[in-house]
Structure 1
């Protein structure tokens, strides 16, 4: 059964005539120098589940062998996995390829391979005889996690990293700041976390007028926490992309440093939605955020740095003499061009430091920063326009990629917002718009799903909303060729046993369990 339940689906799979490889207390693992990271990971994971030491072999007496071979014709992040009468061999084009091959090897074992301790000494740990050649369709296979609305403790972020790594995703986009919270320590501006990292209470659901829970909420990551998250992810071949949202979605920063805003002093926002308070466009505000990004770049080695740029109301700017003066001085047409000007300041800043600006598709309004990569979320139109203008694109349109959207139309879905986005819908969606072809289509780096957490106030709630939809997404961005949900469904059913072993509280195919519901908490229709 394990070979028939691989998720995502490998490019090529054939079964052999051998009995397979049975892991025992004497099984050894060998790896060349470039594959040593995966060797350590595999020994830790399988050693915990099986209770076997899985000692290092010397190549001659190792039953599991890992190696990197760029000449094997596998392509970036590609691998070959062979299990036959001689043992198990994983060859990767690069270290990432070896890691993905080892992830597939783990899937070939019983679901108990995902547990943290042996269940019984009688478990038979058999790798079936197979030959698999595999490679990803896209280089950007991402998940955005919003820790600004509801803070996720570091331990749970590390667990989330393991979960997306198990699905062969390679980008964790961390939404670190918003109106409702600032989640990363910036040493030169301590009030960002002293004040901006907590709020007095939170809105419950999406009712109008809003209802609140009366419970303080907060938290932030120290710089050492961030270094740990980044290193932990890198060991699993995941790049952590930070997001510091400007010039909208900035009320938590304005609460900490009122001089950044356009209006009267405010507190950290308690309610959801688009909020009118935005950053002003004074030189001092730009210098402040350059100071923020100076520290962010020290913490995150990612080539891409997200500056948000989405949902920036313009009313405060229209009433601001500072904004009007800036428009006159820079020869801008209006407030839309002012936002574009603001974003371009950080495009230049990042380019000077060898980084690339990433932003939501509103950065197209008023003219696109020259080095920017666009995340197309308001449908596919922004991505199409950006690709045709010669810019790279990450596709994440709301109707196929927003995992805060309801999973079914029933009244028992917790805090139902947006349109229905089922696992089948995620699976069937296509990242490359039909309007793009050739060089324009190649501008689509890949896709990501977005986990906005206004209505996810715990890791359990995140589990419910993310899984198994993320499993379907993983196949969308990893596997090439036609996709058939009827063919995927039995494999997914087998994969759910792995999620059970990992302790993931996913949404069951039959609907939410009683404790996963939120009776009486209003949602919001599309």
Structure 2
């Protein structure tokens, strides 16, 4: 059992020391004193915590209180994104090394209040008391991410903004947004309007994972305008979350080919309606490369993130083997085979991003045929890709299926809806270690963090996303924020308290005892 465990904080802070006597009780006389660097966090506290508590948290004009004080002190010695929170009878002080640290301290302050602090309006009956405490805290990893697939099932903007708030609540700082796939194209590209006019819509969707597949007969679609995405990026940035866009190439591109058949190898096709790996891939013509350079130009105008993800995963080679154009490219470039052709394709965008001050991120298939010089790797097929990339000096984000795929079933029970993959329980997620043991200390420095992946083939609504993601994402948040030493038996009581916050925030999570009846999908087949 870990010592000095906080009663209910999640993720677990690095250092928690309970104080003596009474802590501060925030009232309508409590003010908020923030320096200029903390202005965004002050606004967040007034907007979010102020709405729930009914407290104005006005700027401090006198000595009455107790007050909340926010300060950025780069020389505080707390580390990047670190903070120190002190609560005494006279008030709450939050000091951060940087604005992000102050924001995470404010998130911790909200957790120290009753769970009703996560509601949208006061409900009465709460006293906004903060226990006396000193907390010194900082994250273990700089990349604490969640990949959300909005291509398979579109998530309306309102719900995506809410999802960003839930990431911030858990001190996660990367939203990897999977915007395109075989089954849908979700980002407006002004130069190529058919990408959304055609590619954003399919006439029906596969239901479950049975063979032969069955379909719902219901059209599905949607996309984000560039202004929608600028809003999302700005909203996330206010919460110290970076949105990393993914445009999947050269595989998983059926929606794009449906809109512009000249991009593919097989002529006119429809937007995908089945799940799984689809044979249609991009061709390797100069025109296709130029098309996607133009696409990425618009993407980079909207997303200021350092990394741009190009996917690079699950690209079947059958069409390239039969393609005279692909075979001619292999010969002209002196390549050995189709794996090297894919690597060549990826390298065109690696150099393109580098010249524009960005970095390429791809799934670990980009290792096949040779890794592009500046590429970072998201290791999903297991730890091997991450190990190889780290040993070669490349940046790595760990997200292996065995520990990070939140579309996987949560128990072996027949009550789990559309059971996919092996069981990935709450305890499994919590026990996962992002740093492979095979790496030396120096090699491990290339692993900048980890992310959980939310693939939505079988999540057709925000309610279903809630069920599949929470509370497993709460467990994941602790693995990437807190120190390596963890104890699941110590975590569970804190999680039970945290579930009260999720209840107040309206999150329809999976109960620890199993799905509610309305969260089940009897008769809809999954796959082992």
TM-score (norm 1): 0.99
Shift of 1:18: 2.9
Cα deviation, 1:198-234, whole Å, max 9, x if unaligned, reads: 1000000000000000000000000000000000000
Query: Which residue does the alignment assign to 1:70?
Result: 74
Q: Select 1:81's aligned residue among 65, 82, 85.
A: 85
- Paired residues for 1:13-28 under 5 Å: 13-28=16-31
Cα deviation, 1:331-381, whole Å, max 9, x if unaligned, reads: 000000000000000000000000000000000000000000000000000
C-alpha distance in structure 2 between counterparts of 1:138 and 1:59, whole Å? 40
Query: Which residue does the alignment assign to 1:101?
Result: 105
**1:80·1:92 contact (CA, 8 Å) conserved in 2?**
yes
Q: 1:480 to 1:281 in 2, by over 3 A?
A: same
Shift of 1:3: 4.9
The 10-residue stretch of structure 1 (463-472 or 20-29) with the greater mean CA deviation from structure 2: 20-29
C-alpha distance in structure 1 between counterparts of 2:344 and 2:268, whole Å? 25
Query: Which residue does the alignment assign to 2:118?
Result: 114
Asked whether 1:92 is paired with 2:96, we answer yes
**1:114·1:498 contact (CA, 8 Å) conserved in 2?**
yes
Q: Select 1:405's aligned residue among 373, 391, 408.
A: 408
C-alpha distance in structure 1 between counterparts of 2:195 and 2:210, whole Å? 29
**1:59·1:65 contact (CA, 8 Å) conserved in 2?**
no
Query: Which residue does the alignment assign to 2:244?
Result: 241
C-alpha distance in structure 2 between counterparts of 1:85 and 1:36, whole Å? 24
Q: Select 1:205's aligned residue among 205, 208, 212.
A: 208
C-alpha distance in structure 1 between counterparts of 2:52 and 2:180, whole Å? 37
C-alpha distance in structure 2 between counterparts of 1:454 and 1:84, whole Å? 49
Q: Structure 2: where are the runs of 5+ without partners?
A: none
Q: In the comparison of the two structures, how many residue pairs are matched? A: 523
Q: Select 1:357's aligned residue among 348, 357, 360.
A: 360
- Paired residues for 1:69-468 under 5 Å: 69-120=73-124, 122-468=125-471
Cα deviation, 1:257-297, whole Å, max 9, x if unaligned, reads: 00000013100000000000000000000000000000000
**2:79·2:138 contact (CA, 8 Å) conserved in 1?**
yes
**1:378·1:398 contact (CA, 8 Å) conserved in 2?**
yes
Shift of 1:26: 1.1
**2:261·2:269 contact (CA, 8 Å) conserved in 1?**
yes
C-alpha distance in structure 1 between counterparts of 2:234 and 2:297, whole Å? 19
C-alpha distance in structure 2 between counterparts of 1:428 and 1:340, whole Å? 34
Q: 1:325 to 1:64 in 2, by over 3 A?
A: same
C-alpha distance in structure 1 between counterparts of 2:63 and 2:357, whole Å? 45
**1:3·1:128 contact (CA, 8 Å) conserved in 2?**
no
Cα-Cα RMSD = 0.9
**2:29·2:64 contact (CA, 8 Å) conserved in 1?**
no
Aligned partner of residue 152 in structure 1, secondary structure: coil
Shift of 1:86: 2.0
Query: Which residue does the alignment assign to 2:502?
Result: 499
Cα deviation, 1:11-60, whole Å, max 9, x if unaligned, reads: 00011113111111111001000001000001111111111211111485
Q: 1:295 to 1:59 in 2, by over 3 A?
A: farther
**2:13·2:135 contact (CA, 8 Å) conserved in 1?**
yes
Cα deviation, 1:434-475, whole Å, max 9, x if unaligned, reads: 000221000100000000000000000000000000000000
C-alpha distance in structure 2 between counterparts of 1:332 and 1:57, whole Å? 68
**2:71·2:102 contact (CA, 8 Å) conserved in 1?**
yes
C-alpha distance in structure 1 between counterparts of 2:223 and 2:450, whole Å? 27
Q: Structure 1: where are the runs of 5+ without partners?
A: none
Q: Select 2:511's aligned residue among 504, 508, 512.
A: 508
Aligned partner of residue 36 in structure 1, secondary structure: helix
**1:3·1:108 contact (CA, 8 Å) conserved in 2?**
no
TM-score (norm 2): 0.98
Aligned partner of residue 43 in structure 1, secondary structure: helix
Aligned partner of residue 253 in structure 1, secondary structure: helix
Aligned partner of residue 72 in structure 1, secondary structure: coil
C-alpha distance in structure 2 between counterparts of 1:82 and 1:237, whole Å? 22
Aligned partner of residue 342 in structure 1, secondary structure: helix
Aligned partner of residue 5 in structure 1, secondary structure: coil
Aligned partner of residue 504 in structure 1, secondary structure: coil
Runs of 4+ in 1 over 4 A off after TM superposition: 58-62
